Amino acid sequence: MLQSKIFSKTLKNAPSDEKSQNAILLIRAGFIDKLSAGIYSYLPLGLKVIKKIENIIREEMEKIGAQEILMPALHSKENWEKTGRWGIKEMFKVEDKYGLGWTHEEIITPLMKNFINNVSKLNDLAVYQIQTKFRNEPRAKSGILRTKEFIMKDLYSFHCEGSDSLENYYEKIKNVYWDIFERLKIKEKTYLTLASGGSFSKESHEFQTVTPAGEDLIYVCENCGAAINEEIKGNHNECPRCGEKRFKEEKAIEVGNIFQLHRKYSEVFGLVDSDGKPIEMGCYGMGVSRVMGAIAEIHNDEKGLIWPTSVAPFVFHILALDSSEEIKKSAQKIYNELSLIKKEALFDDRENKSAGEKLVDSDLLGIPYKIIVSKRNMEKGVVEIKDRQKGTVKFLKPMELNKFYKSKICLKNY
């Protein structure tokens, strides 16, 4: 994409009321725009990141055979009255007749009655959606980590007694989540954390990513790395996994939360197996926009964002450092070559920006590899490749570029 055409603009300053690092960086780099407290728009660069995160999640969901559906955000009041959750104050109420969904047990459970009521076998039936959710957050102050409207993946699983069990599936999903967080490059700082079950179940597991921006407090076992959320720390003097008593206190962001719902919702809505027993259910959430915020919190430096290649809006940032015809042509040629592979290149072709401004903007945007075309390099017959994360520089001859591109992107997507 040509940077001169892209609808985006880097800003010197974020709005003064933004205190969180992710919001400041994402707004300054032109990835998001703030409408009002806790409500943001995703601009072209930001939406590209969101879509890459969504696609990683979709690929991992597909691997375990979970099927994608799309449920509404506008929910009938009566379903929520049946489960006793209509009163929850975080739920936005629409003209006292509807609620805006912040989770979907009240929708998926009766929906499933049309399809699996009275079955005797289910074989890990699971459906998921990636959908916009709403939550009345009185103190939305952490950028896209905690918003009134957010994008979430929610997966629901269904199990008959004696068949593949909820417990086994729950363990399977833990592994899938680790695979996803590895691809999103937040695994290293993420801890499986025992937490309260909220209005869902007795206890649950959260995936908590440690960063000073986190609003949760977790206690990480100094021996085995299992963690406990502050909210239930009082119930656990010892690490539930290894028995150790020494913990390290950390601030963290909840990027995923998984629950064994058991029969809680199937009982209310009468979703039963062939023996008339309520079907066992599990639910597994992951915040798409929150994950984007967590990545921005973790992967940055004083110059700006540093996107992991897997979710970067573009993998390559071609900079034509001056606007002489020769440089422009040479940079354009590189851009044309990359366009053949796919749209993974942003080309800074802006004519009214200095070399310095372009380099500063590029650091702020955080695209993994700069491909710098300058007069000095051209005279030597090379282009400069700069790694945004490592800061390393190498010089490649034009004929070596193709091999370099291919080493940096996953070709199966092209």
* 8 Å CB contact between 68 and 129: yes
Question: What is the closest distance, in whole angstroms, from the C-beta atom of residue 69 to its own copies in the complex?
Answer: 5
What is the per-residue DSSP string for 375-413?
HHHHHTT-EEEEETTT--EEEE-HHHHHHHHHHHS-GGG
Question: What is the closest distance, in whole angstroms, from the C-beta atom of residue 24 to its own copies in the complex?
Answer: 15
* 8 Å CB contact between 279 and 273: yes
Residue 64 lies near its own copies (rule: CB under 8 A): no
In this complex, which beta carbon is closest to its own copies, that of residue 6 or of residue 378?
6
- Angstrom distance (rounded) from CA 75 to CA 186: 33
Q: Would you tell me the crossing angle of helices 44-63 and 288-298 to the nearest 10 degrees?
A: 110
Return the residue of 54, 82, 88, 94 that touches its own copies, per CB under 8 A.
94
Question: What is the closest distance, in whole angstroms, from the C-beta atom of residue 30 to its own copies in the complex?
Answer: 8
Report which residue type is found at 291.
V
- Angstrom distance (rounded) from CA 245 to CA 70: 44
Question: What is the closest distance, in whole angstroms, from the C-beta atom of residue 78 to its own copies in the complex?
Answer: 8
Site for its own copies in 135-164 (CB under 8 A): 136, 148-149
- Angstrom distance (rounded) from CA 153 to CA 130: 4
Span interacting with its own copies, options 40-48, 264-272, 351-359, 362-370, rule CB under 8 A: 40-48
Residue 70 lies near its own copies (rule: CB under 8 A): yes
* 8 Å CB contact between 143 and 38: no
Span interacting with its own copies, options 39-47, 253-261, 270-278, 308-316, rule CB under 8 A: 39-47
Residue 6 lies near its own copies (rule: CB under 8 A): yes
Span interacting with its own copies, options 90-98, 274-282, 331-339, 350-358, rule CB under 8 A: 90-98
Residue 17 lies near its own copies (rule: CB under 8 A): no
Element (H, E) at 59: helix 44-63
Residue 92 lies near its own copies (rule: CB under 8 A): yes
* 8 Å CB contact between 10 and 364: yes
The set of residues, in sequence order, having a beta carbon less than 8 Å from that of 223 and lying 6+ positions away, is 239, 242, 244, 246
In this complex, which beta carbon is closest to its own copies, that of residue 39 or of residue 393?
39
Return the residue of 19, 115, 394, 410 that touches its own copies, per CB under 8 A.
115
Return the residue of 12, 16, 17, 36 that touches its own copies, per CB under 8 A.
36
- Residue whose C-alpha is closest to residue 323's, from 352, 289, 365: 352
Question: Burial level of 143, CB count in 10 A (0-12/13-18/19+)?
Answer: buried
Question: What is the closest distance, in whole angstroms, from the C-beta atom of residue 381 to its own copies in the complex?
Answer: 35
CA angle 76/90/206 to nearest 5° reads: 105
- Angstrom distance (rounded) from CA 71 to CA 56: 21
Residue 165 lies near its own copies (rule: CB under 8 A): no
Q: Dihedrals φ, ψ of 32, to 5°?
A: -135, 165
Return the residue of 24, 61, 107, 140 that touches its own copies, per CB under 8 A.
107
In this complex, which beta carbon is closest to its own copies, that of residue 86 or of residue 98?
98
* Pair of tokens at residue 301: 């430096």
- Angstrom distance (rounded) from CA 219 to CA 222: 9
Span interacting with its own copies, options 31-39, 249-257, 318-326, 388-396, rule CB under 8 A: 31-39
Site for its own copies in 232-271 (CB under 8 A): none
- Angstrom distance (rounded) from CA 2 to CA 386: 20
Return the residue of 8, 21, 204, 310 that touches its own copies, per CB under 8 A.
8
Specify the residue for token string 């979710």. 311
Number of residues that bind its own copies (CB under 8 A): 45
Question: What is the closest distance, in whole angstroms, from the C-beta atom of residue 351 to its own copies in the complex?
Answer: 13
Return the residue of 64, 86, 98, 341 that touches its own copies, per CB under 8 A.
98
Residues making contact with its own copies (CB under 8 A)? 5-9, 11, 33, 35-36, 39-44, 47, 50, 65, 67-76, 92-95, 98, 100, 107, 111, 114-115, 125, 127, 132, 134, 136, 148-149
